[in-house]
Structure 1
Amino acid sequence: MGLFDTALSMLGNANSAEGGGQSALIQVALGLLNQSGQGGTGGLQGLLSQFQQAGLGDVVASWVGTGQNLPISAEQIQQVLGNGQLAQLAESAGIPHDGIAGQLANMLPGLIDHLTPNGEVPEAGKIDASSVLQGLGSLFGK
């Protein structure tokens, strides 16, 4: 079982009594950060690159860095990911398409910040499971 599968399994068990909305969105966000290859974002590094190419390099640099995270808008998320990918993510999470960009805008800065605690993007496949779980817990008060 891979890192993200383990984290998702633990998260799913922790949230099973609370309903699937938040848990499903977290699973989708983690999946987005873990995608690689054709059709995927290229994992965390690839996703950060997409934001940089869209002119949002300073925003994502703040998420990776050790200072305060700059906010991002739902419109900027939509610009980077596009309607097609957002529709797929919303369908996977079982949430309305019109709300997913805003929810990702709220979640991604903190999630990426916790995945890069030393201000460095870990190599593909080198994200520490305990960092993921700690980040999720602190982001959502668990």
Structure 2
Amino acid sequence: MSLFDQLGGLLGGESAGVSGAVGSLLEQHGGLSGLLEKFNSGGMSELVSSWVGTGSNLPVSAEQIQQLLGGEQLGALAEKFGLDPQQLSQGLADYLPQAVDKLTPDGQLPQGNALLSQGLDMLQGFFNKS
């Protein structure tokens, strides 16, 4: 069980499923840089640049997430985390721009353990909003 899976279990509900799915995507793509490369190669480099950069974040749609990940990968993730694929794609669309933005506060990908520490802090803050 990955660290994101464990954290997701603590959060509960849909938030747990989305955070767990993000963790799985990060693992499957070799970390944040690998996941962002998938978005870049999928024709979404303008979105990624806005998320990493210091300006405002451009939105991504659930349909773009579905198109990028494909039905098989999205379905497997949704099943693993107990969500409907549409629910998961919408959750990822809502969450990823903010997550990437918070993981890249200086407009650059953090190195090594700094990413893990920042990621955990960011996830706790993101899902503990009132």
TM-score between both structures, scaled by the size of structure 1:
0.78
Question: What's 1:48 paired with?
Answer: 36
Cα-to-partner distance string for 1:41-70 (whole Å, 9 max, x where unaligned): 232111111111111101011111111111
Cα-to-partner distance string for 1:80-138 (whole Å, 9 max, x where unaligned): 11111101110111011222111110011111111111111134x43434311321133
Structure 2: stretches of 5+ with no match in the other structure: none
> Are 2:73 and 1:73 aligned?
no
Give the partner amino acid of 1:122: P
Which of 97, 107, 123 is the equivalent residue of 2:95?
107
Which of 12, 16, 19 is the equivalent residue of 1:23?
16
Per-residue deviation, 1:11 = 5.4
Q: Would you say the 8 A contact 1:73–1:105 is kept in 2?
A: yes
Which of 16, 22, 25 is the equivalent residue of 1:32?
25
Aligned mates of 1:82, 1:106 — CA distance in 2: 18
Give the partner amino acid of 1:66: T
| Count of residues in Structure 1 that have an aligned counterpart in Structure 2 | 129
Structure 1: stretches of 5+ with no match in the other structure: none
Aligned mates of 1:100, 1:59 — CA distance in 2: 19
Aligned mates of 2:92, 2:25 — CA distance in 1: 10
**Percent identity over paired residues:** 42
Q: 1:77 to 1:127 in 2, by over 3 A?
A: farther
Question: What's 1:117 paired with?
Answer: 105
Question: What's 2:125 paired with?
Answer: 138
